[in-house]
Structure 1
Amino acid sequence: MARRLHPDESALWAQVAASVRPLPGRVRPIVGPAPRVIVDQPPPAPPPPKRAPAANRIAVDAATLDGGWDRKMRSGRLAPDLTVDLHGYTRDRAHALLTRMIVEAATGGARIMLVITGKGARDSDDIANNFGRPRGVIRASLRDWLQSSDLRPYIAALRPAHPRHGGGGAWYVILRR
C-alpha cells in the first residue's frame, strides 16, 4: 500500500512533472499550474555568545577560572582539544588563521586550544642572525588579538602553557561554552 504524499511533496512532484518534456509523438497531460515550493535555507551561522559588557572588559589573561582549571594547567594534566601552530606565518596571516580557528573551535564545541607562538628573540646574536627583523611579533600581538571585539566573546581566559605543551612559547586559550 502506497503512502499518501504530503502537500509539500505533492507540490514538488507537480513542479518536476511540469518540467518534463514528453517523448516524440506524445502529449503532456494537462496539469494545473505548478505550485511554488519554498526551499528551506540553511540556518545562519550562530552569533557569538552573548556576554555582559563587563565580562568583555576584563583582560583575557586576567580572567579568572575555578581552582580545578588552574591546578590542571600548572600540573600539565590539561589536554588541549586543538593545537594551532603559528610558526612561520606573517603577522597578518597568523591573525587570520587564529581568528578562523577560534571561531570554528568555539562553534564546534572545543574548550581548550593550544596556541604555539614561539618565544621570539632570546639575545642580540639571534636578532643579528635574523637580519635585523624583529622576532616574537606574533607572541607580542596575541593578547591584543584575543582582546579584540571579534574574538573576545569566544574567549574565557588565556594562560601560559605547561612545559610539556611548549612552555614559554605556547598558550592555553580557554574557550567559552
Structure 2
Amino acid sequence: MPRLPLLITALSALTFATTASAEVRFGLQGARSSDFGTPFLSGGAHVSFTDTLPWTLLGSRTARTTLEANVTGGPLGPNLLVDHALLWPQASGLYYGAGFGSGVALPGAELAQNVPYPMVVLLTPGALVNVHGVVGVTFSGVSTEALVRWRPVSDGVTAGVRVSFPLK
C-alpha cells in the first residue's frame, strides 16, 4: 500500500518526459520553515520537467512539474512532493512562476512514530498541500531560484532555494 502513492507521484512527474520538447533538470534544494511551531531546515534533491503548453493559460505557455525528495527535521519528513507550476519567462534568463502541490511523508517521519504508517500515507497529502511562488534566473544552463511555499495545514510559510542543471 505505501508504494502506491509513490508510484502515482512518479508517474505524474514522468508525464512531461514523454514529449520531445520537455526540458529535464536535476538539482538540489534547501528550505527553512518559519511558522507554526519550532522552525526547522529541510533539503533534498529534485527532478523537474518543463514544457510548452499547446494553449495559453493565465498568460503563460510554460508549465513545470517537479518531483522533490526531502530530508527534513519537521514532523512530515522525510517526504516526497510533487509541485505543478506555470512559469512566465522574462528577458535575460529571468522567470517567475506560481503553482500548487502536495506530497506524502515517507517511513521515518516524526508523525509516523505516533500514527501507523498506512494512516500517515492517507493523512499527509492534506498536510503537505501547498501553493507557492518562484523567482529564478538561468545563466549558462544553471537555474537558481527562490521559492516561497505556503502550507496552510502544516508548517505555514517555507522559504527556500533551488539550483538545477539540465539533463535533456
- TM-score, structure 1 as length reference: 0.25
Greater share of helix residues, 1 or 2? 1
- Higher Cα Rg, which structure: 1
- TM-score, structure 2 as length reference: 0.25
